[in-house]
């Protein structure tokens, strides 16, 4: 079967994005009118444009659908909050200050006005939380509720954080907790009860915009991204862009006690912590000589350190080690007896 005959469903989102990025092929560093492209499509959380001064503009966009992205239990307000949060989290991942959010909404023609108003209030609440505002957008009828957000941010070139920049010896840190959103989704699907705290991790993810700006200003962070696609995938993306490996300590993974109790066994707990997405925390690497500069900025946990690229991604634990395997454009982690 040729690539032209291959279906989207058999390729996967990441592999398709990679192929499209090759087609779009934004010429990084070359002039485009009044602005140059510093970071093009596909290599980072946001594209980065040169503003011809000390600053650069970061831009990102994301699309959410009712059937695939919003569990039935979510309120319209929470749908709006999440629609803004997924974009503003990408701005945070670059160490930038959000400067505006555009939102395009497609909805069924018979959607109630009260639903749309609550949706808008959720979007506005998240924008205000991140100290920015909705500056435009579009409305149209559509066969399914579809929300596309485009977020803009500004950061000094000297403080811009990318997925590349980590080096062997750097420490690996994360904010908040991992696996909470994954457990919330599993609880909903299996009709089990969890606390409001765990549910909010899925329904109302918090973009770490304030923490990210302070981390960028510290000068101690060497690379960063968010964990919206899961901790394992984020490690893979950082490894690929920075050309480093990782040694991660299983016992250091920050996991809520409720999440630990929800898991049926250690294997399922590891699945939640590594492979489920939706937490929207920051994962970043730090120069160990400058660790003190970031320790008081936010609730962070050191989970490991960077190693040489050819060592791969290894999870240290008495039970197993995990190594990275790239296949069809995404990361699989295979457990092996140590």
> How far is residue 123 CA from its own chain's centroid?
18
Determine if residue 330 is labeled as part of a ligand binding site.
Answer: yes
61 is in an annotated binding site: yes
Phi and psi at 172, nearest 5°, equal -105, 125
| Integer CA distances (angstroms), 42 to 20, 22, 237, in order | 8, 9, 11
49, 59 Cβ separation under 8 angstroms: yes
Q: Annotated binding residue at 138?
A: yes
DSSP run (H or E) holding 330: strand 330-337
Q: Extract the tokens encoding 246.
A: 């990782």
Question: Can you tell me whether residue 303 is helix, strand or coil?
Answer: strand
The answer to whether the annotation marks 110 as part of a ligand binding site is no
Helices assigned H by DSSP within 204-286: 209-218, 231-242, 257-262, 266-275
Q: Is 163 annotated as a binding residue?
A: yes
Rg (CA), the chain: 20
H-helix or E-strand containing 302? strand 300-308
Q: Is 36 helix (H, G, I), strand (E, B) or coil?
A: strand
- Residue 62 annotated as part of some ligand binding site: yes
229 is in an annotated binding site: yes
* DSSP 8-class letter at 318: S
CB 293 within 8 A of CB 171: no
Structure tokens at 227: 């964990």
Alpha-carbon gap, residue 2 to 5, rounded angstroms: 5
The answer to the question of whether 226 is labelled as a binding residue is yes
Binding residues for Mg(2+) are: 45, 60-62, 90, 138, 226, 229
Binding residues for ATP are: 137-138, 163, 228
Binding residues are: 45, 60-62, 69, 90, 137-138, 163, 226, 228-229, 330
Binding residues for substrate are: 69, 330
């Amino acid at each position: 079967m040729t690539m032209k005959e291959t279906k989207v469903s058999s390729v996967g989102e990441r592999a398709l994005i990679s192929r499209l990025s090759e087609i779009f092929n934004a010429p990084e560093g070359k002039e485009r009118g009044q602005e140059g492209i510093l970071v093009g499509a596909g290599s980072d959380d946001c594209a980065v444009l040169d503003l011809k001064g000390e600053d650069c503009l970061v831009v990102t966009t994301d699309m959410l659908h009712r059937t695939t992205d919003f569990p039935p239990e979510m309120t319209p307000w929470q749908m709006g909050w999440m629609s803004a949060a997924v974009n503003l989290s990408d701005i945070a991942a670059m160490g930038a200050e959000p400067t505006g959010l555009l939102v395009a909404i497609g909805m069924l023609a018979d959607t109630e006005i009260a639903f749309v108003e609550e949706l808008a209030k959720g979007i506005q609440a998240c924008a205000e939380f991140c100290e920015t505002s909705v500056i435009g957008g579009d409305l149209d009828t559509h066969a399914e509720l579809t929300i596309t957000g485009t977020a803009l941010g500004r950061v000094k070139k000297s403080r811009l954080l990318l997925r590349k920049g980590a080096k062997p010896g750097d420490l690996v840190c994360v904010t908040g907790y991992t696996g909470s959103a994954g457990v919330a989704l599993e609880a909903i699907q299996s009709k089990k009860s969890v606390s409001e705290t765990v549910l909010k991790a899925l329904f109302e993810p918090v973009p770490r915009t304030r923490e990210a700006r302070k981390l960028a200003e510290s000068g101690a962070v060497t690379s960063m991204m968010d964990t919206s696609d899961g901790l394992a995938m984020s490690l893979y993306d950082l490894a690929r862009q920075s050309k480093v490996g990782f040694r991660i300590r299983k016992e250091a993974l920050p996991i809520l006690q409720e999440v630990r109790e929800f898991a049926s066994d250690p294997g399922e707990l590891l699945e939640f912590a590594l492979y489920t997405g939706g937490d929207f925390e920051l994962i970043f690497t730090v120069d160990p000589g400058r660790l003190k500069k970031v320790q008081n900025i936010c609730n962070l946990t050191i989970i490991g350190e960077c190693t040489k690229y050819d060592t791969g991604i290894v999870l240290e634990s008495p039970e197993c080690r995990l190594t990275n395997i790239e296949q069809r454009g995404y990361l699989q982690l295979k457990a092996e007896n140590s």
